[in-house]
Structure 1
């Protein structure tokens, strides 16, 4: 599998996991000039912007640690574009989540859904 196919595989797992846990997938791989959001879902009253990170070893740390401040800023900018593009009301509760997928040495897959993993970073805070 190439890198894109591998990423798609783990995003599919994340979508299945989110759906099994009550989220409704709205959109996948939403792109703008500023970047991409892996999954956009509804979880109860929240519109959630979800970043999927996976690791096949602990050598580079936990998968969620890869969602650094730069990546968070990108997700926030793309979410701004999404909200404008689709007329999402300012009243709509928004959440930024991370789905972390880790494959251990026995090839077992472990999935963690971090709800509200980070807060919105306003553009003027850069």
Structure 2
């Protein structure tokens, strides 16, 4: 049985998915897990593949959800995205970006940070 925290996280992720769909993005995958990390949402924005990290914090006292996507987390996301693209070669041909949905407060307010970070920010080359 999922914990209350897991249930809240799933609800916030579902709200983020609905928010992105209303903005015109198309879902590709959800909760894709690899040994080194997980992709919360994979979406398409036109011809761009978007890897979306959803972060919930009850308060923004320590910088909110977006601040918790530190260098270590970004590197895990990049590696998971690379694995995803290896298994979806047609998506690997087009542009990609990394977005973050910062969900803070109760009820959560969603703040969508498009192009939240780039490969170069994580020490990777293009």
Do both share a fold (TM > 0.5)?
yes
Matches within 5 A, 1:63-78: 63-78=65-80
Matches within 5 A, 1:1-126: 2-88=4-90, 90-103=92-105, 107-121=106-120, 125=124
Structure having the higher helix fraction is 2
The unaligned stretches of length 5 or more in structure 2 are: none
Q: Residue 9 and residue 92 in structure 1: after superposition, are their counterparts in 2 closer, same or farther (change >3 A)? A: same
Contact 1:72 1:121 (C-alpha < 8 Å) held by counterparts: no
Distance 1:50 1:71 in 2: 12
Distance 1:41 1:65 in 2: 22
Q: Normalised by the size of structure 1, how large is the TM-score?
A: 0.87
Aligned residues: 122
CA RMSD of aligned residues (A): 2.0
DSSP 3-state at the match of 2:24: coil
Q: Describe the superposition over 1:32-65 as per-residue Cα deviations: whole angstroms up to 9, x where unpaired.
A: 1111010000012210000001111122222110
Q: Residue 68 and residue 7 in structure 1: after superposition, are their counterparts in 2 closer, same or farther (change >3 A)? A: same
After superposing on structure 2, the runs of 4+ consecutive aligned residues of structure 1 that deviate more than 6 Å are none
Distance 2:122 2:88 in 1: 20
Q: Normalised by the size of structure 2, how large is the TM-score?
A: 0.87
Distance 1:89 1:23 in 2: 15
Distance 2:97 2:84 in 1: 13
Q: Residue 29 and residue 57 in structure 1: after superposition, are their counterparts in 2 closer, same or farther (change >3 A)? A: same
